[in-house]
Amino acid sequence: MRLTKIFRKGKETTFKCNCCGTEYDEIPLCFGSEFPDYYYSIPPDEIEKRVELEKSLCVVDKTHFFHRGRITIPILDFNKDLYFDIWTSISPENFEFRMDCWESPNRKDFGPYFGWLQNQIPTYENTINIKSIAIEQDAGTIPEIEITEENHPLGIDQRNGITYKKAMEIVQYALKSQHE
Ligand SMILES: [Zn+2]
């Protein structure tokens, strides 16, 4: 369910990071992780040999498959949402299938694909290896990730939306961990 948004106009024209005072022209609402969590378990000198990485696809040891997707958390009382571009695992069969229909205009008709979330989302209790599904979008757009882990606060917030106040807490926390 998604409530009608109440648009805030003319408020928050600039945004300031609490940890260091950096000013932004627009509130940073899109965060992301460059790699799936699994990647960090690989010794740096083995990465080149063991990891195949493309913009939104990653294969480790030719046996562990990951793809990038987007978690959207609606902000109920604001005109933009909060995004996390993160990684989930995907089965080898589904990975291959996704590759095959990468350019297909019908790709939205395929899936969804089950996966275990591979990144920690700031401020939430453990989000590594929680259940999710990936829902295909138009060509050129990474899939939307829906958290299906039962009773997980991230899934609940994704379904119900969060307040602007809570979103700002998450943003400040996420920026702090980037700036430290
Ligand atoms: Zn900062």
Single pTM value for the model? 0.90
CA 180 to ligand 1 centroid distance, Å: 8
CA 51 to ligand 1 centroid distance, Å: 32
Beta-strand relationship, 30-32 and 82-89: parallel
CA 22 to ligand 1 centroid distance, Å: 6
Class of residue 98 by CB neighbours under 10 A (exposed 0-12, middle 13-18, buried 19+)? buried
Q: Cα angle at 160 between 27 and 3, to 5 degrees?
A: 80
Give the H or E element holding residue 170. helix 164-179
CA 166 to ligand 1 centroid distance, Å: 18
pLDDT in the model for residue 12: 54
pLDDT in the model for residue 55: 87
Give the H or E element holding residue 153. helix 153-160
Distance CA 152, CA 114 (A): 16
Distance CA 90, CA 63 (A): 11
pLDDT per residue of the chain (180 residues) written in tens, 0 to 9: 455 555 555 455 689 999 999 999 999 999 999 999 999 999 999 999 999 999 899 999 999 999 999 999 999 999 999 999 999 999 999 999 999 988 888 889 999 999 999 999 999 999 999 999 999 998 889 999 999 999 999 999 999 999 999 999 999 999 999 998
- Token pair in block for residue 179: 């700036």
CA 156 to ligand 1 centroid distance, Å: 28
CA 172 to ligand 1 centroid distance, Å: 8
pLDDT in the model for residue 91: 98
pLDDT in the model for residue 180: 86
CA 36 to ligand 1 centroid distance, Å: 24
